[in-house]
C-alpha cells in the first residue's frame, strides 16, 4: 500500500512516523514522506505533480499553517496552505482514485456552546486560521464528498514531545519564572499527537477493511481542561516523574488579561464518541497521555 505523508517534520508528521504499523490489514506500507523543502504547499503545481507521479493509495496531509496569531497578518499564505493546497490534493486524488486523510481543528467553532461539539454542529470560526481550515474542509468535501476517498479529522490542542507547542513552552517558562499567569477561561481537550497518529492508522485500517464511517470526524483525547489546568498538570506530573524539580506558582487569568492577535473560542471540546465507538477504540484521558509525553521528553533529554 502506497502512503504519501506530507508534513513529515511537524508534530503529527513525526508521530505518524513513530507509530507506523508494519502492515495495514495485511498490506505492507510503502511510505513516502515530504518536508516543506521537498513539497511546498504554497505551490499548487508541486502538490498535483507529486500525486500524479507517486500515485498514492493514501495521502496523509499532516502539513498546515498552524501559527494561529501570525495567520492574522499572513492571510494569503494561510489560505494557500490550509485551503487551496488541500483542494489541489483532492482534485488530483479524485483523478487517480487515491484517498485523502486531512486534519482540521476545534477552532472552526465559535465556542458559544457548553457541550462538546459534534460534527453536525455549525462552524463559525473566530480567526483567520479557523476560517482557512473551514475553507479547506469545504473545498475538499465539494470535490470528494460523493466518493469514499476522504476523511477529515478535526482535533484539538495538539502537543507532542517535540516542537513549539504549549507543553514545551510552559516547561521553558516554568524554568525561567517563579510565577506564571495562564488563561483559565478557554476550555478544550489537550490531545497527544501520538494518540492522533495511532487513531489515523486505525482509521486507515478500518477503511481497508471496508468499515463505513463518515467523511468528517472528531478525535481528541478524553476529558476537558483549561490552559490553566493543562499548565498545572504539566507542573504536577513533570515533578512527579522527575522531569524537573520546580515550584513555579501558576495563577489563573482571564483571556482579556492576555491579549493575542487572534481571538480564540472559550469552549471548543470535540465530541469524539461516535467515531471511537464505531472503530471500537477506548479513549484515554488527556492526563494519562500527557504523562506519557512528559516521560518521552524525560527519556530523550529533549527539555
Ligand atoms: N497544533 C494544534 O494545536 C492543532 C490543533 C488542532 C488541529 N491541528 C491540525 O492538526 C494538523 C497537524 O498539526 P501539527 O500541530 O502537527 O502542525 P505543526 O507541528 O505546526 O506542523 C505543520 C507542518 O506543516 C509544514 N508546513 C507549513 N507550511 C508548509 C508549506 N508551505 N509547505 C509544506 N509544508 C508546510 C511545517 O513545515 P516546517 O517543519 O518546515 O515548519 C510543519 O512540518 C494540522 O492540520 C493542524 O491544523 C493542530
Atom of ligand 1 nearest to the CA of 61: 45
Secondary structure letter of residue 159 according to DSSP = E
Atom of ligand 1 nearest to the CA of 15: 16
Please report how many Cα atoms fall inside a 13 Å half-sphere around the Cα of residue 107, on the Cβ side: 21
Q: Is the CB of residue 153 below 6 angstroms from any atom belonging to ligand 1?
A: no
Q: Is the CB of residue 66 below 6 angstroms from any atom belonging to ligand 1?
A: yes
Q: Which of 47, 51, 46, 149 is nearest to 88 (CA)?
A: 47
Count Cβ atoms within 10 A of the Cβ of residue 239 and give its class: 0-12 exposed, 13-18 middle, 19 or more buried.
middle
Q: Is 159 a catalytic residue?
A: no
pLDDT at 302: 59
How far does the centroid of ligand 1 lie from the alpha carbon of residue 21, in Å?
22
Q: Is the CB of residue 81 below 6 angstroms from any atom belonging to ligand 1?
A: yes
Nearest CA to ligand 1 atom 18: 10
Angle between helices 227-240 and 166-176 (to 10 degrees): 70
Each of the 303 residues of the chain gets a pLDDT tens digit; together they read: 999 999 999 999 999 999 999 999 999 999 999 999 999 999 999 999 999 999 999 999 999 999 999 999 999 999 999 999 999 999 999 999 999 999 999 999 999 999 999 999 999 999 999 999 999 999 999 999 999 999 999 999 999 999 889 999 999 999 999 999 999 999 999 999 999 999 999 999 999 999 888 899 999 999 999 999 999 999 999 999 999 999 999 999 999 988 889 999 999 999 998 888 888 888 899 999 999 999 999 998 655
The answer to whether 180 touches 250, Cβ cutoff 8 Å, is yes
pLDDT at 93: 97
Q: Is the CB of residue 156 below 6 angstroms from any atom belonging to ligand 1?
A: yes
Give strand ranges (E) for the chain: 2-6, 23-24, 27-28, 30-34, 58-61, 99-105, 150-155, 158-159, 179-183, 187-188, 191-192, 216-218, 225-226, 249-253
Atom of ligand 1 nearest to the CA of 43: 31
- How many residues are given for the chain? 303
Q: Is the CB of residue 16 below 6 angstroms from any atom belonging to ligand 1?
A: no
Site of grid cell 508534513:
7
State which of 11, 47, 50, 66 you would mutate to test the pocket of ligand 1, scoring each by most atoms of that ligand within 8 A of its C-beta. 66
The answer to whether 109 touches 121, Cβ cutoff 8 Å, is yes
Site of grid cell 453536525:
120
How far does the centroid of ligand 1 lie from the alpha carbon of residue 62, in Å?
6
CB-based contacts of 117: which residues, under 8 Å, 6+ apart?
106, 109, 218, 268, 269, 270, 271
> Which one of the listed residues 129, 159, 228, 232 is annotated catalytic?
129
pLDDT at 303: 55
Q: Is the CB of residue 103 below 6 angstroms from any atom belonging to ligand 1?
A: yes
What strand order describes the sheet that includes 30-34? 30-34, 2-6, 58-61, 99-105, 150-155, 216-218
Q: Is the CB of residue 108 below 6 angstroms from any atom belonging to ligand 1?
A: no
Positive or negative: CA dihedral 100, 106, 110, 111:
positive
Q: φ and ψ at 60, to 5 degrees?
A: -100, 115
**Domains of the chain (ranges plus CATH)?**
2-164+190-222+268-283 (3.40.50.720)
Amino acid at each position: 500500500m502506497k502512503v504519501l505523508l506530507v508534513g513529515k517534520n511537524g508534530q503529527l508528521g513525526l508521530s505518524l512516523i513513530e507509530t507506523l504499523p508494519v502492515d495495514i490489514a495485511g498490506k505492507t506500507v510503502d511510505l513516502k514522506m515530504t518536508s516543506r523543502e521537498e513539497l511546498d504547499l504554497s505551490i499548487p503545481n508541486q502538490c498535483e505533480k507529486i500525486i500524479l507521479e507517486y500515485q498514492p493509495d493514501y495521502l496523509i496531509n499532516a502539513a498546515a499553517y498552524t501559527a494561529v496569531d501570525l495567520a492574522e497578518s499572513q492571510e494569503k499564505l494561510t489560505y494557500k496552505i490550509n485551503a487551496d493546497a488541500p483542494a489541489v490534493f483532492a482534485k488530483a486524488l479524485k483523478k487517480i482514485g487515491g484517498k485523502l486523510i486531512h486534519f482540521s481543528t476545534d477552532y472552526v467553532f465559535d465556542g458559544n456552546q457548553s457541550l462538546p461539539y459534534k460534527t453536525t454542529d455549525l462552524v463559525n470560526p473566530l480567526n483567520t486560521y479557523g476560517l482557512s481550515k473551514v475553507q479547506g474542509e469545504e473545498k475538499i468535501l465539494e470535490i470528494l464528498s460523493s466518493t469514499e476517498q476522504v476523511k477529515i479529522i478535526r482535533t484539538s490542542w495538539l502537543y507532542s514531545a517535540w516542537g513549539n507547542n504549549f507543553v514545551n513552552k510552559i516547561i521553558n517558562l516554568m524554568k525561567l519564572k517563579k510565577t506564571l499567569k495562564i488563561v483559565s477561561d478557554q476550555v478544550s481537550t489537550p490531545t497527544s499527537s501520538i494518540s492522533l497518529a495511532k487513531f489515523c492508522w486505525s482509521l486507515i485500517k478500518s477503511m481497508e477493511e471496508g468499515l463505513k464511517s463518515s467523511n468528517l470526524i472528531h478525535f481528541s483525547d478524553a476529558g476537558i481542561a483549561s490552559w490553566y489546568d493543562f499548565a498545572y498538570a504539566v507542573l504536577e506530573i513533570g515533578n512527579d516523574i522527575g522531569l524537573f524539580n520546580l515550584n513555579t506558582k501558576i495563577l489563573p487569568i482571564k483571556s482579556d488579561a492576555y491579549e493575542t492577535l487572534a481571538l480564540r473560542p472559550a469552549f471548543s471540546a470535540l465530541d469524539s464518541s461516535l467515531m471511537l465507538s464505531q472503530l471500537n477504540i477506548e479513549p484515554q484521558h488527556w492526563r494519562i497521555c500527557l504523562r506519557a509525553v512528559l516521560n518521552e521528553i524525560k527519556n530523550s533529554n529533549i527539555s
